[in-house]
Structure formats: structure tokens, C-alpha cells
């Protein structure tokens, strides 16, 4: 199953229906396809998206915008694909997920994304 997203955080949480608190599209059946693919023999749950918006903003982000809805949880996502590569998230730790997703983010944003995420978790 291949689905898209508005943005994905570095842990693999997928926002596919809103930009922050603003609804952008309907909820749809993304979770149905993701679960169905995961339960099917040989099935793969894939989220594919461009790494940046038309305005040059990263779609792989340290954390989702405030108010954004998580349509697909990080525990259900197997693969995230951008034009920069494939992040295989299945069975990965949070740190490994961050590393995988930073690799497929747009090169101009990679350092900022990684630094922002690790700065945020150090503050807890």
C-alpha cells in the first residue's frame, strides 16, 4: 500500500490531513491500507512524499506542527520514501528512526532536523 503525507516527524508519525490546526483534506482510509499491507503476506506499508514543499520547507520534520493530527502512528509505518531514498523503519529504535529519516530529508534541511530533534529530547 502506497500513501502520501503532508509531513512526517523523525520518529515516523504521519500527518496526512492537516497543516497544524487547519484541516487540509479528509481523513480517508490511510490506516486501513497501512494495516492491510502490514497483515498481508509480502505486503509493505509505504508512505511516499517529496522531501520539501514548493516553498522549500521540509516535509520531514523534527516534530509535527502544533495541532497536527497523527493519521498513522509510528508503530504502523514500515517505509517512508522521498526522492532522496528509502527509510526502513520496521523494528527500529527511536534513535535509528531519526537517523533513517534524516538521510531521506532534503540535504539543505538534514542538519537542522537532526539538531532540533536531539535538542528537544535533551530538554526532557
- Spatial distance between the Cα atoms of 41 and 38, rounded to a whole number of angstroms: 8
CATH number of the domain bearing residue 92: 3.40.1080.20
Domain that holds residue 40: 2-122
Distance, CA of 59 to CA of 10 (rounded, Å): 10
Per-residue pLDDT of the chain in tens (124 residues, 90 and over written 9) = 898 999 999 999 999 887 777 777 766 788 888 889 888 999 999 999 999 999 999 999 999 989 888 888 899 999 999 999 999 999 999 999 999 999 999 999 999 999 998 888 876 6
Q: What is the pTM of this model?
A: 0.88
Provide the CA 81 distance to its chain's centre, in angstroms.
9
Report the number of distinct structural domains present in the chain.
1
Buried b (16+ CB within 10 A) or exposed e, 78-91: bbbbbebeebebee
Angle of helix 110-122 relative to helix 94-104, nearest 10 degrees?
A: 160
Amino acid at each position: 500500500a502506497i500513501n502520501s503525507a503532508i509531513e512526517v516527524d523523525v520518529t515516523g508519525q504521519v500527518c496526512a490531513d492537516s497543516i497544524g490546526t487547519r484541516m487540509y483534506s479528509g481523513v480517508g482510509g490511510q490506516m486501513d491500507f497501512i494495516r492491510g499491507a502490514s497483515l498481508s503476506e509480502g505486503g509493505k506499508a509505504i508512505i511516499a512524499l517529496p522531501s520539501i514543499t514548493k516553498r522549500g520547507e521540509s516535509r520531514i520534520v523534527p516534530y509535527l506542527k502544533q495541532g497536527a493530527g497523527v493519521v498513522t502512528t509510528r508503530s504502523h509505518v514500515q517505509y517512508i520514501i522521498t526522492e532522496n531514498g528509502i527509510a526502513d523503519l520496521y523494528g527500529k529504535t527511536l534513535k535509528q528512526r531519526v537517523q533513517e529519516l534524516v538521510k531521506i530529508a532534503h540535504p539543505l534541511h538534514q542538519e537542522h532536523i537532526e539538531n532540533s530533534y536531539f535538542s528537544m529530547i535533551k530538554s526532557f
